[in-house]
Amino acid sequence: MLLWLFSPLSSSAMFDFDDLSVTSGINDLPQGSATINYGLNEYGLDEYSSTDSSHQGGAVRLWRYTSNYNSSHMGFSSWGWLDIDDSKAVSGNSLRCVITGGRNSICNPCDSGGLIVNKKQDYLDYLSVGQNPVGTIAIGVPDIYFGNSTGSSNPMAMWPAVGNNRLSLYVKYPESLAGADRPGNPRVTIHVAPFTTDFGGHYYQFYAINGGGWTHLQLDRHPSNDNISGSDAVNKPAHDEGFIGRIYRFYVTANLYEGYTIPPHYTYFDNIEFWNDDYANQNDETINGLGISYNPATKFFQVTFNDKYRGRSSNPGMAKATYEIRYSLSEPITNENWDNATPCHIQATTTQTERVDGKFKRVSPDDYTTVWAKFALANSSDEMTFENNKIIHFAIKDISQNPENHRQINPALDGTLAGWGRNYDDGWASWDYENDNRVLDYIKRISYILSENTDLEVPSAPVGLSVS
């Protein structure tokens, strides 16, 4: 999708794949449209790029990237292609990334990694001469870039981020992308990395969430990490509301660079948009980078986001935070109607206790920021309403602090959550109480659209191959 459309939401601009022909059949080669070219980029990999000259000769693009670093820290080379699919989509068509193989620390290179595939035609060429190009071990990661080319003279030209405060996208990874539910801190499984003008940088937004269902990722003005300095982005750019509007390029990837399942495996992208949530009184400080996922087979949801502060074992007050998540089937949640929203039912996991009041905690102190929980709706009637209406509204509140005095830990939480809050009076140098204090009573919200294709993921076998 590299067509700019305007959605019904206020001040929103959407990437949409619906004008491109479905090419997910094995013999269907990807192609462009009246406004989109399909071809190869400077890396020799397939891409979709705009034909509009105002985009500086195709500066606004969507392309697959394969790392040449070949390391667990920076990523490994991956083989595969991009095409357009309609069997797995939130609505209409989606972008599909097919991974056929690649490299990792034990296969760098090796025969088990498969043959180099940079576009779909490469794959078909191998099959035509009786070669099987697909790897036989868990390997390969989709790295997809969206946005302007490096070196563009005006990276914001015709780019829809300007004037918006949210970047929203839906992704669907295989169920084998996992690790959020484990002892200790949840494993980061997905990250989105925006590049910005004016902030000198390249930032990361990390998500700890398991694959299997469609996941709605929402970026705000508070990224998890500043890749230039390697430190948490506590002050910059969190307090500048223009951060999202300055993004000119971003990539999305799975964070398990070694690979997480045997190829061929598939990742889908849909409903990518910059938009403006003009409901201003939200907590963009201690709750940032929300993600919600849903598995129709189990009817369980997952939530992920990042705390503002890393935990420190030497300072337990840093990591002791509690939250509450609620939902509405009729309207977006606000601070004013929060009490009318229904608490989610938190499920028992390795690190969370089952609760029906929507409350859950951040895991014990460790040097990380990610938060994860698994939950369900309150009853089967609400599940049916959601499945019929296809949309549900969520909001999260940071309930760590005493609402009468935010410097104190919340004394009103019951059960195992009692005493989980931030001790702002311990004098720790990195506390940002001035900015936290303004928003600790406010919600952070996100909506979730149910896919029009709710069948389970069962990869289809390419011609001449079988799927384990």
Show pLDDT as tens, one digit a residue, over the chain (468 residues). Answer: 343 332 333 444 567 799 899 999 999 999 998 888 899 988 889 999 887 655 444 457 889 999 889 998 889 999 999 999 999 999 999 999 999 999 999 999 999 999 999 999 999 999 999 999 999 999 999 999 998 765 455 555 556 788 889 999 999 999 999 999 998 889 999 999 998 877 667 888 999 999 999 999 999 988 887 655 445 544 456 677 788 888 888 999 999 999 999 999 999 999 999 888 888 789 999 999 999 999 999 999 999 999 888 766 566 555 578 999 999 999 999 999 999 999 999 999 999 999 999 999 988 767 788 999 999 999 999 999 999 999 999 999 999 999 999 998 888 888 878 778 888 887 677 788 999 999 999 999 999 999 988 654 444 434 333 333
User: Could you say which of 227, 261, 278 is where a domain stops?
Assistant: 278
Say yes or no: 255 and 319 in one domain. no
Would 197 be classed as within a structural domain? no
pLDDT in the model for residue 86: 96
pLDDT in the model for residue 248: 85
Say yes or no: 57 and 77 in one domain. yes
Which of 65, 92, 113, 101 has the alpha carbon at shortest distance from 7?
A: 92
pLDDT in the model for residue 3: 37
Domain holding 383: CATH number?
Answer: 2.60.40
Say yes or no: 10 and 52 in one domain. yes
Tokens of 27: 């013999």
Would 6 be classed as within a structural domain? yes
Would 178 be classed as within a structural domain? no
Say yes or no: 83 and 145 in one domain. yes
User: How far is residue 49's CA from residue 35's CA, in Å, rounded to a whole number?
Assistant: 8
Would 361 be classed as within a structural domain? yes
pLDDT in the model for residue 97: 98
User: Could you say which of 225, 251, 278 is where a domain stops?
Assistant: 278
Which of 202, 174, 203, 168 has the alpha carbon at shortest distance from 189?
A: 174
Say yes or no: 155 and 290 in one domain. no
Would 21 be classed as within a structural domain? yes
Would 93 be classed as within a structural domain? yes
Would 108 be classed as within a structural domain? yes
pLDDT in the model for residue 2: 40
Q: In three state form, how does the secondary structure of the chain look?
A: CCEEECCCCCCCEEEECCCCCCCCCCCCCCCCCCCEEEEECCCCCEEEEECCHHHCCCCEEEEECCCCCCECCCECCEEEEEEEECCCCCCCCEEEEEEEEECECCECCCHHHCCCCCCHHHHHHHHHCCCCCCCCCCCCCCEEEEEECCCCCCCCCCCCCCCCCEEEEEEECCCCCCCCCCCCCCCCCEEEEEEECCCCEEEEEEECCCCCCEEEEEECCCCCEECCCCEECCCCCCCCCCCHHHEEEEEEEECCCCCCCCCCEEEEEEEEEEECCCCCCCCCCCCEEEEEEEECCCCEEEEEEECCCCCECCEHHHCCCEEEEEEECCCCCCCCCHHHCEECEECCCCCCCCECCCEEECCCCCCCCEEEEEEECCCHHHHHHHHHHCEEEEEEEECCEECCEEEEECCCCCHHHCCCCCCHHHCCCCCCHHHHHCCCCCEEEEEEECCCCCCCCCCCCCCCCCCC
Answering whether pTM is above 0.85, one says yes
Say yes or no: 18 and 62 in one domain. yes
Q: Give the domain extent around 7.
A: 1-161+242-278
Say yes or no: 248 and 367 in one domain. no
User: Phi then psi for 150, rounded to 5 degrees?
Assistant: -60, 135
Cβ-contact 210, 302 below 8 angstroms: yes
Say yes or no: 87 and 109 in one domain. yes
Work out how many domains the chain is built from and give that number: 2
Would 80 be classed as within a structural domain? yes
Cβ-contact 194, 203 below 8 angstroms: yes
pLDDT in the model for residue 396: 98
